[in-house]
Amino acid sequence: MTYAPVPAASAPSTLRLTALHAKYTLIETFRVPIAVIGTVVFPALALLFFVVPQRSVADVALYATQAVISLSVFAVMANSLFSFGLTISESREKPWDPYLRTLPAPGIARVFGQILSTGALGLVAVLPVVVLGGLLTAAEAPPLRIGAGILALAVAAIPFMLIGTAIGYALPFKAAIAVIQIVMFALAFVGGLFLPPVLFADWLNDLSKFTPSRQAREFVIWAVEGGTLEWWVWAGIATWTVVMLVASLALYRRDEGRRYR
């Protein structure tokens, strides 16, 4: 009696593994609804409390549009810092993460999966700000410019993702929570996300230009409203990306050397 050979099951592609990782990361996140609610509600509340009542800002299209953009950048920044920083630091303290590393799946699938899930949550966090800004203020922009602004937000989010990654690999979970909150509010205030930089003192305005939050704000404003893009904006985003990528890789290798030597 002869048996027909059974074809070997083909290994799933990296693209499929990335989609699966992003899917289960989102499911895990939505199992804790308060985490999603906080990400979505806080930027919208900031718009309602700090922008909408200020009619001298809300009724002027230029100022209102820039205020909506600033809070959209804040929403993406907060989501990136918390998603990467807390997820990584928490995973390092659980036995599930070492088990995942033993599976025959490339690490890049997990990285891209995390980026996709964080990007999806960031988009969810921006929507209430844009909708409320369009309904309750004089903010305005053509549809193509809004699309360009979303792309600019995606690019500007990269340094924040890498900062969150570095914090996640550098600190334990409880310390990471405190540090991320300090970093988030410091970058928001100094970067002009809560107060327009035109109100800053000269020294604070100069300092602000070195922060990734100010660079992200100016980058998205340029994408939505047009005009001239200052050199320090794109140079700053590129520099923060390279520096934090190197720091994240160094901290990843240090963590791997400690736990898997």
Q: What is the pLDDT of residues 130-147, one digit of tens each?
A: 899 999 999 988 989 999
Which position has the higher pLDDT, 162 or 106?
Answer: 162
pLDDT at 10: 64
Please give the model's pTM, rounded to 2 decimal places: 0.86
Long-range Cβ pairs for the range 32-41 (8 Å, 24+): 35/82, 36/121, 36/124, 39/75, 39/78, 39/79, 39/82, 39/121, 39/124, 39/125, 40/124, 40/125, 40/128, 41/128
pLDDT of 144 reads: 92
40 band by pLDDT with thresholds 50, 70 and 90? confident
What is the per-residue pLDDT for 74?
Answer: 93
Given a cut of 60, whether residue 4 has pLDDT beyond it is no
Better pLDDT: 5 or 166: 166
Rounded average pLDDT over 208-221: 95
What is the per-residue pLDDT for 105? 74
Residue-averaged pLDDT of the chain: 86
Quick check: 2 pLDDT over 80?
no
